[in-house]
């Protein structure tokens, strides 16, 4: 596992936000890895390890996740605030051009970053998300976000994840479920294992379509699609439909890779994902 430095930046409302920084070739644009709604920097540890050295990699944790401060106002858990937070990180680090790799919510943020200034996007990966989000997937996410379950042991946590998400990763063995649990959960001060995010992120999400900005996302995608772009889709995804993915792939310069027997979302550790990301970076 490549070494990284735990670093921090400050939001406009005074939160101390955390990111992992992996060193790499400073002559290349850095890689910015943006996680999904309830996720954190650990999602990208294998990817960052593979890229580190050749690429500088930054893995920020949004407010309310991982080692970032929880928001005082839960209604700031929404995409335009996350965008503002990321702009502050880019300003602090002096980053004018970067490769964005965004999973789910992170992909929506990638499109928002592109819309604000497409020239700064050197290339991008949208992992199982697009300008149209399937309502079935949103309802499923609303059903589990903020539930606050906790577990006595890592094995209990892994078994619970296997039970609830076995259809997403049907080929995983218990070792993979344990590894997954340690990416998305943390051992708390109570001695119980719990999800590593503020349960209050569910509050704005519970509003109608609260998880996505209330705008037509296709113009944002088209701003991004002027750059080298990879779209990854889980074959059984309930967030990114095959129809939307095909429409995205019809834009010039867009590569679509569909991962068999995987739902929402690919982990980016699959051989097909690794190869496709490698091809994208060769275009930078």
Is the model's pLDDT at 97 over the cut of 70?
yes
- Predicted pLDDT of residue 213: 47
* 271 is annotated as contributing to ligand binding: no
Is the model's pLDDT at 207 over the cut of 80?
no
Domains in the chain with CATH codes: 5-143+207-282 (3.40.50.1820)
Cα(213)–Cα(195) distance, integer angstroms = 25
> Could you tell me the pLDDT band of residue 209, with boundaries at 50, 70 and 90?
very low
Please indicate whether residue 142 or residue 172 has the higher confidence score (pLDDT). 172
The side-by-side arrangement of strands in the sheet containing 254-259 is 5-10, 16-22, 57-60, 31-34, 98-103, 121-127, 229-234, 254-259
Is residue 73 within 8 A of residue 23, CB to CB? The reply is no
In angstroms, the Cα distances linking 114 to 5, 28, 56, 249 are 27, 19, 20, 17
Q: Whole-prediction pTM value?
A: 0.96
Q: Give the mean pLDDT of the chain.
A: 94
* 219 is annotated as contributing to ligand binding: no
Question: Nearest 5°: CA angle at 28, between 245 and 270?
Answer: 40
The average pLDDT across 87-100 equals 98
Phi, psi of 230 (to 5 degrees): -115, 130
> Could you tell me the pLDDT band of residue 208, with boundaries at 50, 70 and 90?
low
In angstroms, the Cα distances linking 188 to 15, 157, 179, 191, 193 are 21, 13, 17, 5, 6
120: three-class secondary structure by DSSP: helix
For the chain, where are the E strands, in sequence order?
A: 5-10, 16-22, 31-34, 57-60, 98-103, 121-127, 150-151, 185-187, 193-195, 229-234, 254-259
Cα(32)–Cα(124) distance, integer angstroms = 9
Here the tokens at position 111 are 């499109």
Is residue 231 within 8 A of residue 254, CB to CB? The reply is yes
- Predicted pLDDT of residue 144: 83
Is the model's pLDDT at 17 over the cut of 60?
yes
């Amino acid at each position: 596992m490549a070494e990284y430095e735990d670093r921090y930046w400050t939001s406009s409302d005074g939160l101390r936000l955390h990111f992992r920084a992996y060193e790499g070739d400073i002559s290349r644009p850095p890689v910015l890895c943006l996680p999904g709604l309830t996720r954190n920097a650990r999602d990208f540890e294998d990817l960052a390890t593979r890229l580190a050295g050749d690429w500088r990699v930054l893995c920020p944790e949004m407010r309310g996740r991982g080692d970032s401060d929880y928001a005082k106002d839960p209604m700031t858990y929404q995409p335009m605030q996350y965008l503002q937070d990321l702009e502050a990180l880019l300003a602090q680090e002096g980053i004018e051009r970067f490769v964005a790799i965004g999973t789910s919510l992170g992909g929506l943020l990638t499109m928002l970053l592109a819309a604000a200034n497409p020239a700064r996007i050197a290339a991008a990966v949208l992992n199982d998300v697009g300008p149209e989000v399937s309502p079935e997937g949103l309802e499923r996410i609303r059903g589990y976000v903020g539930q606050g379950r906790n577990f006595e042991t890592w094995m209990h946590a892994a078994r619970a994840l296997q039970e609830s998400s076995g259809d997403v990763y049907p080929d995983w063995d218990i070792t993979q479920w344990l590894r997954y649990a340690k990416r998305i959960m943390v051992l708390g001060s109570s001695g119980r294992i719990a999800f590593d995010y503020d349960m209050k992120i569910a509050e704005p999400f519970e509003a109608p379509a609260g998880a996505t900005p209330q705008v037509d996302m296709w113009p944002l995608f088209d701003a991004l699609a002027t750059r080298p772009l990879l779209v990854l889709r889980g074959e059984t995804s309930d967030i990114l439909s095959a129809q939307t993915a095909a429409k995205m792939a019809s834009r010039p310069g867009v590569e679509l890779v569909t991962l068999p027997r995987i739902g929402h979302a690919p982990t980016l550790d699959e051989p097909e994902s690794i190869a496709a990301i490698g091809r994208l970076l060769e275009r930078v």
